[in-house]
Amino acid sequence: MGRSPCYDATGLKRGPWTPEEDQKLMAYIQKHGHGSWRSLPEKAGLQRCGKSCRLRWINYLRPDIKRGKFSLDEEKTIIQLHALLGNRWSAIASHLPKRTDNEIKNYWNTHIKKRLAMMGIDPATHKPVVAALGSGNGEPKKVTNLTHMAQWESARLEAEARLVRESSKLRQNYQQPTAGLPCPPPTQRVNKIASRLGSPRCLDILKAWQRVQLKSLVIENNGGDHGGNLQSPTSTSNLQNIPVSSTNCNIATFHSIDVNEGFTTFQDMEFEAGQAWSMGACDAEDDDMIKGFSNFLSNNWETDHLVQYPNTDKDGNSGSSDGVSENDDENKNYLDDVFNLVDCGLRYSDSTLLHNNICMEHLELFIRPTC
DNA sequence: AACGTTGACAACCGCTGTGAA
DNA sequence: CTTCACAGCGGTTGTCAACGT
């Protein structure tokens, strides 16, 4: 037994709003604020229930609402956030300025959902619908690759979701500076957080990096020096400099993770996926931070994520100097296949750029702070 | 022209969480 | 602790215009 509809009792109006009603509602709220929604309709002279007024204001009349067609960026964001958050429309809307949850939900249901389905991607799981890709004598390699892609993406999203949840908790619990007092310096704040939470502290580490700019990062494959600096993790202009290789990459060495705002500069840190870690130099007082960070990597990092893709030169062309051309081709084809399948309006110049972007996403996820 | 179908979006319903009494 | 009112949320339905037959 649910509550009776709000319009039952007094024959309140329902259905589409007229311009006159909109005008009344806007005028009242602009003058008095909405206050109690229940009492608003009577005060504003509207034959509507408070709930209806609230919905109309929030989803349509509010001045800070952007209406009209969604941009490609917005669409991309929605898809990514939906993969991460599911049908939590309000959470998704919070990442899209000026868009309402209702609008995003409608757009998802009427546009994106159908398009993904048409492309053979399950809108609920964001994974390829393998059965729909032609089994039997179809193209098993493609299916394998897409499955791999799905697993790969799933792991990433899972970690990302965990990060978001924990980050949100931390923000709620520990980022409430006393009124009138200056916010403590980041390091101090982090130590406080870490001391309260105990182990594991991996998320504290990421949180600690929120205000930190990762200045330069070089990934080295198993001791081989491919060089290259990454000025900004989000800048596509530098993607071509990511040194990656498809040879044995169980160990990644990070040189000169140089952070500012008084944070430690980590040098020569080694991370072995799922196993051990070591480091060449870092400040002793940041041991906990580094351990936490290392644990985080060990728990979440699959070597495939960083090493499966071919080298590139500064122009973004595939390299062939490491004897990995066979894998290069395979991976390039794999990405081309995925790219062709997942044509959701996000176009990159070629699969090389795309795979670099994928590498970048993982670097950002596992290395970069989430801010 | 009339009717049926489809798509897009606004609006509603009912459940849940939260805070005040 | 319980109750209640309210806001917020996600799923669903209603409405209307565009399109097809």
Task: Give yes or no for CB of A32 within 7 Å of strand C.
Answer: no
Q: Are residues A38 and A167 in the same domain?
A: no
The answer to whether some atom of strand C lies closer than 7 Å to the beta carbon of A87 is yes
**Phi and psi of A281, rounded to 5°?**
-155, 135
Closest CA to A257 of A226, A225, A234, A280: A280
In a domain, A139, yes or no: no
| CA-to-C1' span, A45 to C19 (A) | 40
> Quick check: A58 CB within 7 A of strand C?
yes
Does A85 map to a domain? no
Question: Measured CA to C1', what is the nucleotide nearest A86?
Answer: C10
Res A130: pLDDT: 58
- State, as a whole number of angstroms, the distance between the CA of A132 and the C1' of C3: 53
Same domain assignment for residues A57 and A162: no
pLDDT score, position A10: 53
What is the per-residue DSSP string for A285-296?
GGHHHHHHHHHH
CA of A170 to C1' of B12 (A): 36
Specify if A127 maps to a domain: no
- Within a domain: A3: no
Interatomic distance A133 CA / C1 C1' (Å): 57
- Residue A275 is assigned to a structural domain of this protein: yes
Q: Is residue A344 part of a domain?
A: yes
CA–CA distance, A19 with A23 (Å, rounded to integer): 6
User: What confidence score (pLDDT) does residue A11 get?
Assistant: 63
**Nucleotides on strand B with an atom closer than 7 A to protein CB?**
7-15
Local confidence pLDDT in tens for the 371 residues of chain A: 223 334 444 567 878 888 888 888 888 888 888 888 888 888 888 888 888 888 888 888 888 888 778 888 888 888 888 887 888 888 888 888 888 888 888 888 888 887 787 777 777 777 776 544 444 343 344 444 444 444 444 444 444 444 544 444 444 443 333 332 223 222 222 222 222 222 222 222 222 222 222 222 223 233 333 333 222 222 222 222 222 222 223 333 333 333 333 332 333 333 333 332 333 333 333 444 445 444 444 444 333 332 222 223 333 333 333 333 333 444 344 334 333 433 332 322 233 333 333 333 333 333 322 22
A3 touches strand B (CB under 7 A): yes
Q: Strand B and chain A: which residues 17-46 have CB closer than 7 Å?
A: 17
Specify the pLDDT at position A287. Answer: 47
Residues A354 and A335: beta-carbon distance below 8 Å:
yes
| A349 found inside a domain | yes
CA A291, A297, A303, A308 dihedral sign is: negative
Does residue A96 fall inside a structural domain?
no
The three-state secondary structure class of A146 is helix
Question: What residue is closest to B14 (Cα–C1')?
Answer: A2
Q: Which nucleotide is nearest to A40 (CA to C1')?
A: C6
Shared domain check, A333 and A211 = yes
Nucleotides of chain C in contact with protein CB (under 7 A) are: 5-12, 14-16
The residue from A61, A88, A116 where one domain ends is: A61
CA of A37 to C1' of C13 (A): 23
Q: State whether A306 and A167 are in the same domain.
A: yes
Q: Give, in Å, how far the C1' of C14 lies from the CA of A40.
A: 25
Same domain membership, residue A166 and residue A285: yes
**C1' (C8) to CA (A123) span, angstroms:** 25
Same structural domain for residues A233 and A350?
A: yes
Domain harbouring A37, CATH code? 1.10.10
How many domains would you assign to chain A?
A: 2
Residue type at position A299? N
| Structural domain span for residue A241 | 158-175+184-366
A128 touches strand C (CB under 7 A): no
Last residue of a domain, one of A11, A44, A61: A61
Which of A's residues 82-121 have CB atoms within 7 A of nucleic strand B?
A: 102-103, 105-107, 109-111, 114
Provide the b/e sequence for A232-271 (b: ≥16 CB within 10 Å): ebeeeebbbbbbbbbeebebbbbbebbbeeebbebeebbb
